[in-house]
Structure 1
Amino acid sequence: MVKKLTLSAILLASSLFAASEVNVYSHRHYDSDKILFKKFEENTGIKVNVVTAKAEELVSKLAIEGENTPADILITADIGNLYEAKTRNLLQSIESKTLQENIPSHLRDDQNQWFALTKRARIFVYNPSKIDEKNLGDYFSITKPEFKGKIITRSSTNAYNKSLLASIIANHGEEKALEFTKGLVDNFAYNPKGGDRDQIRAVAAGDADLAIVNTYYLGVMLNGKDKKDLEIAKSVKIFFPAQETTGTHINISGAGVTNFAKNKENAVKLIEFLSSEEAQATFAEGNHEYPVNAKVKPSSTVSSWGTFKEDNISLNEIGKNTKKAVEIATEGNWK
């Protein structure tokens, strides 16, 4: 009898331990996420264990680990990597009324394998003393000859630019995407280098006149402790491309439950929490990303930029064209 009770106690303790945690593989590295994971732990008693690395590394790690993976959730900062995880059968479909209510359909997978948590708009940042806004329009507008030697952006291997080019393929076709790539490269002030904040700094310094960047980088610079970056961010202006056509390209951070999640119920609870008004407000205020939950407003800084037309194309369509985008970038000599 004693042995049976001891075994039962061990099994109960084991099940309680398993039920009290959730393991996250995340590409995100922001304070906002740490705050939210801690809040989730306080609210639920579920311990959040996080492994951070580049998205490509995490996807490969999941594939190698297979059914032995400890990961319950994959979080990436780009739709391309989420789509890659889905096509490699690393995610599973989940049912959640909460996620369907909190996240618009075009910002979640049609098979419920991934869900957007935040949005980033890919915009133009320009020097107002060098660029007349009247000459700006869609993404193709900066490929015109008058912009020769004035444009900069990150490498084509960067996830944000791969998704931007993939969206152009999805909206306009491969021929137009190659035309865009060649025109962009012809107008580079210099070969791509650095991150988005480096592009903004270069425009402010006069090394180039216009850069393609994500909105939240500018928001972070405008609200950071670095006074120099603050002045730099104040000196440039932003432009939302393609307002008369497809709308400005939107990329996301998103999450999915892994195919072999050991703590599936806890994983769903965490993703649901991250889509809640409370969590969305933390993302918005802490990192100046656009919330995906329509009930939540952007930060005051982001709101000051005004509203704009978003490209609402299915993000899966962008994911499908990511590999083709790499091929076209190579053909167009976008390094």
Structure 2
Amino acid sequence: MRHTRSFMPALRALALAGLAAVSTAAAASEVNLYTTREPGLIQPILDEFKKDTGVTVNTVFVKDGLLERVRAEGDKSPADLLMVVDIGNLIDLVQGGITQPLKSDTLNSVIPANLRDPAGQWYALSLRDRVAYVAKELDINTLTYEDFADPKYKGKVCIRSGQHPYNTGLIAAMIAHNGEEATENWLRGVKANLGRKAAGGDRDVARDILGGICDLGIANAYYVGRMKNAEPGTDNHKWGEAIKVVRPTFANDKSKGTHVNVSGAAVAKHAPNKAQAVQLLEYLVSDKAQNMYANANYEYPVRAGVKLDPVVASFGPLVVDPLPLAEIAKHRQQASKLVDKVGFDQ
């Protein structure tokens, strides 16, 4: 606790010193976006927003510690809109007390209820479906998430660390569907089936399928768009061409929905330009912006009816697990504890 008290004044001083680099957005033609997303991924959309509205977006890339920074800035923070990846990070912003609710008919009409906060504190902007990468020569075209624990796949499964947010999100969804005891047994089964240690990134799953280390694995679909659209002859392209995508479902779920995580945003609690923040947030779910998400980042659009990149379209229709993300997120800590309990990453 003494360490925390000594650290916070320094953090606050650092944050306040950084305010000079950001416009206070006193003019109605500016809005300040704090984001953990790589600026290059969203800058084209922000450029179009300025062209269409005349509002300039001042982007502050915060790789780590966004919550702590905004807290340290306090009511003098220039942050208008906060953009992050992973439902857990969105929930943390709300629980950290740095967001505010809003009511928007536009957002509520475009974004399904299970992909936004019931109180209007956060909204999903794009989807990242957690799918199966399968060696393309295998006759496997349907899977459940539970199948990854089937002994017939012993030594054939690859996956990144169980403590990565992509996987704790999936494990939390498994808890929500099947309960903690069944999920623990499932995790033990998946660990027993691993062809190598749970580590690396999602693209490494495709790499190791090509290398014969495993036959299938769990990873995000949008990486396949990046790999298959990479320059022919590159490693990424070779990895992408070695696999096919199968969208798993939960065995007991009649909707046959696939688990998704999200990128999303929330309006900052002390936003000096709330109107412009809401304007930008609504723009991000427009047809134009959602098309750019789909065709530049290969993420699945949250808006229905958007034309997909051909590679993503080849995966077939995405049926989203209807469980509210907020309900799934409640089980994140349980999921993390189970990963350690079963020694999944060891």
Scaled by the length of structure 1, the TM-score of the pair is 0.90
| Deviation of 1:163 (Å) | 0.6
The equivalent residue for 2:130 is: 122
| Deviation of 1:218 (Å) | 0.3
Are residues 179 and 15 of structure 1, via their aligned partners in 2, closer, same or farther at CA, if it must alter by over 3 Å? closer
Q: Is 2:102–2:120's contact at 8 Å kept on the other side of the alignment?
A: yes
| Deviation of 1:226 (Å) | 5.6
- Specify the code of the residue in structure 1 equivalent to 2:81: I
Q: Do residues 26 (structure 1) and 35 (structure 2) align?
A: yes
Q: Do residues 305 (structure 1) and 315 (structure 2) align?
A: yes
Q: Is 1:83–1:320's contact at 8 Å kept on the other side of the alignment?
A: no
Give CA-to-partner distance per residue, 1:254-286, whole Å, 9 cap, x none.
Answer: 111011111111100001000000100010011
Q: Is 2:227–2:237's contact at 8 Å kept on the other side of the alignment?
A: yes
Judge which range, 308-317 or 281-290, deviates more: 308-317
- Specify the code of the residue in structure 2 equivalent to 1:104: P
The equivalent residue for 1:318 is: 328
Q: Is 1:143–1:180's contact at 8 Å kept on the other side of the alignment?
A: yes
- Specify the code of the residue in structure 2 equivalent to 1:46: V
| Deviation of 1:32 (Å) | 4.4
Q: Do residues 274 (structure 1) and 268 (structure 2) align?
A: no
Give CA-to-partner distance per residue, 1:270-321, whole Å, 9 cap, x none.
Answer: 0100000010001001111111111313222211111143211101012211
- Specify the code of the residue in structure 2 equivalent to 1:239: V
- Specify the code of the residue in structure 1 equivalent to 2:317: T
Q: Is 1:31–1:286's contact at 8 Å kept on the other side of the alignment?
A: no
| Deviation of 1:124 (Å) | 0.6
- Specify the code of the residue in structure 1 equivalent to 2:55: I
| Deviation of 1:71 (Å) | 1.4
Q: Is 1:288–1:302's contact at 8 Å kept on the other side of the alignment?
A: yes
- Specify the code of the residue in structure 2 equivalent to 1:240: R
- Specify the code of the residue in structure 1 equivalent to 2:167: N
The equivalent residue for 1:88 is: 96
The equivalent residue for 2:223 is: 217
Judge which range, 219-228 or 143-152, deviates more: 219-228
Are residues 15 and 259 of structure 1, via their aligned partners in 2, closer, same or farther at CA, if it must alter by over 3 Å? closer
Give CA-to-partner distance per residue, 1:121-167, whole Å, 9 cap, x none.
Answer: 100101144x4417x53111111212111111111221111111111
Query: SS at 1:326's partner residue?
Result: helix
Q: Is 1:138–1:245's contact at 8 Å kept on the other side of the alignment?
A: no
Map residues 88-237 of structure 1 onto 2, 5 A cutoff: 88-129=96-137, 131-133=138-140, 137-225=143-231, 227-228=233-234, 229-237=236-244
Among 291, 305, 308, the residue aligned to 1:295: 305
| Deviation of 1:326 (Å) | 0.8
| Deviation of 1:67 (Å) | 2.1
Are residues 123 and 15 of structure 1, via their aligned partners in 2, closer, same or farther at CA, if it must alter by over 3 Å? closer
Sequence identity of aligned pairs in percent? 37
Unaligned runs of 5+ in 2: 1-22
- Specify the code of the residue in structure 2 equivalent to 1:156: G
Unaligned runs of 5+ in 1: 1-13
CA separation in 2, counterparts of 1:227 and 1:44?
41
Among 293, 296, 305, the residue aligned to 1:283: 293
Q: Is 1:243–1:308's contact at 8 Å kept on the other side of the alignment?
A: no
CA separation in 2, counterparts of 1:103 and 1:235?
34
| Deviation of 1:66 (Å) | 2.7
Query: SS at 2:210's partner residue?
Result: helix
| Deviation of 1:116 (Å) | 0.8
Give CA-to-partner distance per residue, 1:168-191, whole Å, 9 cap, x none.
Answer: 111111111111211111111111
CA RMSD of aligned residues (A): 2.0
Q: Is 2:127–2:301's contact at 8 Å kept on the other side of the alignment?
A: yes
Scaled by the length of structure 2, the TM-score of the pair is 0.87
* Matched positions, count: 319
Are residues 284 and 86 of structure 1, via their aligned partners in 2, closer, same or farther at CA, if it must alter by over 3 Å? same
Are residues 18 and 164 of structure 1, via their aligned partners in 2, closer, same or farther at CA, if it must alter by over 3 Å? same
| Deviation of 1:97 (Å) | 1.1
Query: Normalized per residue, which structure has more helix?
Result: 1
| Deviation of 1:65 (Å) | 2.7
CA separation in 1, counterparts of 2:74 and 2:329?
22
CA separation in 2, counterparts of 1:202 and 1:152?
8
CA separation in 1, counterparts of 2:139 and 2:39?
35
| Deviation of 1:232 (Å) | 2.2
Q: Do residues 76 (structure 1) and 81 (structure 2) align?
A: no
